[in-house]
Amino acid sequence: MSSELPPGQIAIDGFPRFGLTDYAARYSPDIPPMEIKIYGDVENSFSLTADDLVPLARQDQRSDFHCVTTWTSLDLAWSGVRFRDFYENIVAPKASPKDGATHVVFRSHDGFRARLPLEDLLADDVLLADSLQGQPLCPVHGAPLRLIAPAHYGYKSIKQIKAIEFWTDNTHFRPPALKFMDHPRARVAFEERGLWFPGWLLRYLYRPLVRKTIRLFERTVKE
């Protein structure tokens, strides 16, 4: 939790369901079974189930959530397991990723996808979260399992994870939106909102879209 907002961010009340406009209607109140495919440049692919996560230490964390479009939800209480623990205790021994398989790609049930370098995912505050504000994660916010990477813009915190892939190169990822909207790291502190344009400029492109997008996403959940 920070007392000062990162550059260009504005705090809002609550925590709206949000994403790319195209994904608004791709919402289902049914939670798919927790079965996540782990594959890529690995010796053994496998499917991760909820049971696999039970031996890992549970982690509670409060963090702010920063969407690239400039809204921030302050002080959300997440719980789950650290991505690092999952990587070291499950992925490394079970899948044996090849040397250099550090390009991590996530895929979601709604077709959304995200990538981050493995190094960023091994940070202390990156969680595979199954609980929000003391409750089991709801379908609106990505049940059964989502990523939470608070140092990165929200588009890296993929909901409803279906697959996690470890690749030795970055040819396996196609951005879900226009290319300039997808920064490989998207670190909030450095205002890495996207490619080619400075972050401060993208604030003015994105900010006018926030209210409309929140309303659009709200409508699809109520219907």
Ligand X SMILES: Nc1nc2c(c(=O)[nH]1)N[C@H]1C(S)=C(S)[C@@H](COP(=O)(O)O)O[C@H]1N2
Instruction: Provide, rounded to whole angstroms, the least separation between the CB of residue 18 and ligand X.
Output: 4
**What CA–CA distance (Å, rounded) separates 203 from 190?**
13
Using CB under 6 A, pick the residue from 78, 155, 167, 173 that binds ligand X: 155
**What CA–CA distance (Å, rounded) separates 59 from 78?**
8
Q: How far apart are the first and last CA of the chain?
A: 34
**What CA–CA distance (Å, rounded) separates 7 from 48?**
37
Q: How many CA atoms lie within 13 A of 88 on its CB side?
A: 12
Cα 202–chain centre separation:
20
Cα 216–chain centre separation:
20
Using CB under 6 A, pick the residue from 17, 183, 187, 193 that binds ligand X: 17
Q: How many CA atoms lie within 13 A of 17 on its CB side?
A: 25
Comparison of 156 and 162: residue with beta carbon closer to Mo ion: 156
31-70: contacts with ligand X (CB under 6 A): 67
* Contacted by 97, from Mo ion, ligand X, none: CB < 5 to 8 Å by type: none
176-215: contacts with ligand X (CB under 6 A): none
Choices 3-11, 46-54, 156-164, 184-192; region in contact with ligand X by CB under 6 A = 156-164
Choices 28-36, 51-59, 75-83, 108-116; region in contact with ligand X by CB under 6 A = 108-116
Task: Give the residue at shortest CB distance from Mo ion.
Answer: 67
Give the interface with ligand X as residue ranges (CB under 6 A): 15-20, 23, 67, 108, 110, 112, 141-142, 154-155, 157-160
